Amino acid sequence: MDILTLLLTIVDMFTTSKRRIFLDYAAGTPVSERALKAYCDVSQYYANPQALHSEGLEAARIRDDARSRIAKILGVKSHELIFTSGGTEANNLALAGYLDALEAAGVDMNECHIIVSKIEHPSVSDVFEPFVRRGLTVDFASPNTHGVITPEAITECIQENTVLVSVALVNSEIGTVQPLHAIGKLLKQQTPIVGGKKLEKIILHTDACQGLYQSLVPQGLGVDLMSIDSGKMFGPRGVGALYIRRGVKLSPVLRGGSQEQGLRPGTENIQLCAGFAVAFEECSELRESESIRLDEVRNELLKALTEEIPDIEVNGNGKNQTPHILNIAIPKIDSEYVAMYLDQRGLALSTKSACLERSGVSESLVVAALGKEKWHAVSALRFSFGRDTSIEDVPLIALKVSEAVRAYRSFP
C-alpha cells in the first residue's frame, strides 16, 4: 500500500460515519434552497385555483406564473405546457394520450405502427402493452455499441403507417445524448398513411427528464412532445410537465376534471408548480458552468478508477455524453454486491435505473442492449453527479470502489 492510499484509508476511517458521498443524482436530486423557499412561500395559499373568488384567482395566478416561467425557458407558449405529477405521468400522457386520440378519431390500432428506442425507461416502454393487445405494432430501434440511436436505426424501422417515434434525449443509465434533431429532420420527410388516410406527420416524443445539462428547446430538438421532471432538476418531487406542440391532439389518460385544458384532472398543486419553476430557472442559469465542472469530475473519476482497476470498461462512452453520468463495467464482480458494500462505507450509487433496482432483474437492460458480452450488463455501476459532488472526493471514491472489487474477487 502506497503512502497516498494509506493516508486516504486513515482519513476514511474517521469520516465514513460522519459524511456520505451521494452518487445517484440520476435517480433523484435534492431540492435546492431557492426552490424550497418558493414552495414554502406559496404554502400560505390554499385556495383551489379553479375557484372564482379572490383567493382562487390568486392561486390560479401563481400556477400560471410558474407555467409561464418554465415555458419561457423552453421557448414555447404557455398553453403548450401541461403540469403533471412527474416524468412518468408526462410520458404516459404523451404516448397513451396520442394513441387514444388517434383511436377516438377513428384510427384502428391494427393499422398503426410505432418505433421506440430499445433503451427507454419503463415509463415509456411499458406504456404500449394495452395498445399491442388491441393490434398496435411496435418496433424497438437498437442502439450502437455506444448507446446511440442513430437516424439510420430509425430509418430501418420506419413503415408507411408509422405514426409515432419515442427516443429519450439522455439515457438515464449510460448518459448518451441522442441525436434528436437529426431524427426529427428525418421524420419530417415522412408522411404516414394509416387506413388509406394521410396524417400530418410522424410524431416525435422525447423523455427529457435527464436533460438538465442540455438545451431543452423543443423547436431546436425537433420534437412534438417532451416530458420533464422537477425531481430530476433540483426541484420538489411530485410535479413534472409535458410540452405538447400546438396542433398535436391528445386524449386524457385520467378522468374527473377539466384542469390543465382537460388533459390532467385534479386540483393543481401550486406549491409544487412554484418550486418547479424556480428550480428549472436555476438549472438554466447553472447549466453551462455545472456542465463544465461535472465533465471534469467525470473525467477525473474515470481516470482514477482506471488507475485503480485497469480492466474496467465504459458503457456508453460516445462523443455526445451528459456530464453527470458515468457507467462502467467491471469484470469478475457482482455489481449489486459492490453497490451494497459501498453503501455500508458511505457511497451511494446504483447498478441500473432506480425504477428497476428492486424489480428482481439482475442485469442492466440498457447495457445488455449495447450488444456487448453479457458480463458488461451484470457488472455495471452507474455514478451520477450533482451540485454537491466535489472533485476533491474523486480519490476517495476510486479507492473505495477498488476496495469493494478486491473484497468480492477475494471470495473463494
Please identify every residue annotated as catalytic. 355
Contacts of 404 (CB under 8 A, 6+ apart): 337, 338, 341, 342, 345
Q: Are strands 197-198 and 240-244 parallel, antiparallel or unpaired?
A: unpaired
Q: Residue 403: CA atoms inside 13 Å, Cβ hemisphere, count?
A: 20
Contacts of 64 (CB under 8 A, 6+ apart): 78
Strands (E), 96-245: 113-117, 137-141, 162-166, 193-194, 197-198, 203-207, 225-229, 240-244
Given a contact cutoff of 8 angstroms between Cβ atoms, the answer to whether 223 and 182 are in contact is no
Task: State the first-to-last Cα distance of the chain, in angstroms, to the nearest integer.
Answer: 23
Contacts of 350 (CB under 8 A, 6+ apart): 24, 26, 27, 339, 357, 381, 382, 384
Phi-psi map region of 261: left, alpha, beta (phi>0 left; psi -120 to 50 alpha): left
For the chain, how many residues are written? 412
Q: Grid cell 384510427 — which residue?
A: 107
